[in-house]
Chains A and B, each alone.
Chain A
Amino acid sequence: MTTIKIITGHYGSGKTEFAVSLAMQLAAKGRKVALGDLDIVNPYFRSRERAEMMGNEGIRVISSTLGHASSLDLPAVSAEIRGPIADPEYDVILDLGGDEVGARVVVAFAEDIKARGYEMLLVINAYRPETRDLDGVMRYLEGIEYTSNLKFTGLIVNTHMIWDTTTEDVLAGIELARQVSHRSGLPIRYISAIKSALAGLPPDIEGERLPVGMYMRDAWM
Chain B
Amino acid sequence: MSKVLMKGNEAIGAAAIAAGCKYFFGYPITPQSELPEYMSARLPKIGGVYLQAESEVAAINMVYGAAGTGKRVMTSSSSPGIALKQEGISYIAGAELPCVIVNMVRGGPGLGSIQPAQSDYNQATRGGGDGDYKLLVYAPGNIQEMVDLVQLAFDKADYYRNPVMILGDGMMGQMMEPVEFKEMPKMDLPAKDWATTGTQEKRKPNVINSLYLAAEELEQHNIHLQTKYQEMIDKEIMFEEYNMEGAELVIVAYGTTARISKAAVDLLQAQGIHVGLIRPITVWPFPYQAIKDLPESAKNILCVEMSMGQMIDDVRIGNEGQRPIHFVGRSGGMIPTPQLVIDKVKEILNGGK
Residues of chain A touching chain B, judged by Cβ–Cβ distance below 8 Å, are 11-12, 42-45, 70-71, 73, 125, 127-129, 132, 160-162, 164, 218-221
Residues in A neighbouring B115, C-beta threshold 8 A? 43, 70-71
Which of chain B's residues has its CB closest to A159's CB?
B5
Residues in A neighbouring B171, C-beta threshold 8 A? 44
Contact A127 B178 (CB under 8 A): yes
Query: Complex formed: what's the CA distance from A29 to B2 in Å?
Result: 40
Contact B174 A125 (CB under 8 A): no
Contact A162 B30 (CB under 8 A): no
Query: Contacts A12-B5, A43-B31, A127-B4; is A162 near B170 (CB within 8 Å)?
Result: no
Contact B30 A161 (CB under 8 A): no
Interface string of B13-34 (1 = CB under 8 A from A): 0100000000000000011001
Interface string of B170-184 (1 = CB under 8 A from A): 110011111000000
Query: Complex formed: what's the CA distance from A161 to B115 in Å?
Result: 25
- Min distance, Cβ B337 to any Cβ of chain A, angstroms: 8
B114 within 8 A of A: yes
B208 within 8 A of A: no
Contact B31 A44 (CB under 8 A): yes
Contact A125 B5 (CB under 8 A): yes
Contact B114 A161 (CB under 8 A): no
- Min distance, Cβ B254 to any Cβ of chain A, angstroms: 15
Contact B259 A220 (CB under 8 A): yes
Query: Contacts A127-B3, A164-B178; is A44 near B338 (CB within 8 Å)?
Result: no
Query: Complex formed: what's the CA distance from A220 to B304 in Å?
Result: 15
Residues in B neighbouring A127, C-beta threshold 8 A? 3-5, 178
Contact A43 B30 (CB under 8 A): yes
Q: Which of A11, A42, A43, A162 contacts B178 (CB 8 A)?
A: A162
Contact B174 A162 (CB under 8 A): no
Which of chain B's residues has its CB closest to A44's CB?
B174
- Min distance, Cβ A14 to any Cβ of chain B, angstroms: 8
Residues in A neighbouring B10, C-beta threshold 8 A? 12
- Min distance, Cβ A188 to any Cβ of chain B, angstroms: 20
Contact A12 B7 (CB under 8 A): yes
Q: List 29 A-B contacts (CB under 8 A).
A: A11-B34, A12-B5, A12-B6, A12-B7, A12-B10, A12-B176, A43-B30, A43-B31, A43-B114, A44-B170, A44-B171, A125-B5, A127-B4, A127-B5, A127-B178, A128-B5, A129-B4, A132-B4, A161-B5, A161-B178, A162-B5, A162-B176, A162-B177, A162-B178, A164-B178, A218-B335, A220-B259, A220-B260, A221-B175
Residues in B neighbouring A160, C-beta threshold 8 A? 5
B333 within 8 A of A: yes
Q: Select the residue from A44, A73, A164 with max chain B CB neighbours within 10 A.
A: A44
- Min distance, Cβ A6 to any Cβ of chain B, angstroms: 22
B196 within 8 A of A: no
Residues in B neighbouring A11, C-beta threshold 8 A? 7, 34
Contact A161 B3 (CB under 8 A): yes
Query: Contacts A71-B113, A162-B178; is A219 near B263 (CB within 8 Å)?
Result: yes
Contact B3 A42 (CB under 8 A): no
- Min distance, Cβ A27 to any Cβ of chain B, angstroms: 25
Query: In the complex, given contacts A127-B5, A128-B4, A219-B263, what are 15 additional A-B residue pairs having Cβ atoms less than 8 angstroms apart?
Result: A12-B6, A42-B174, A43-B115, A45-B174, A71-B114, A73-B30, A125-B5, A127-B178, A128-B6, A129-B14, A161-B5, A161-B178, A220-B259, A220-B263, A221-B175
Which of chain A's residues has its CB closest to B264's CB?
A220
Residues in B neighbouring A44, C-beta threshold 8 A? 31, 170-171, 174
Contact A73 B114 (CB under 8 A): yes
Residues in B neighbouring A162, C-beta threshold 8 A? 5, 176-178
Query: Complex formed: what's the CA distance from A78 to B111 in Å?
Result: 25
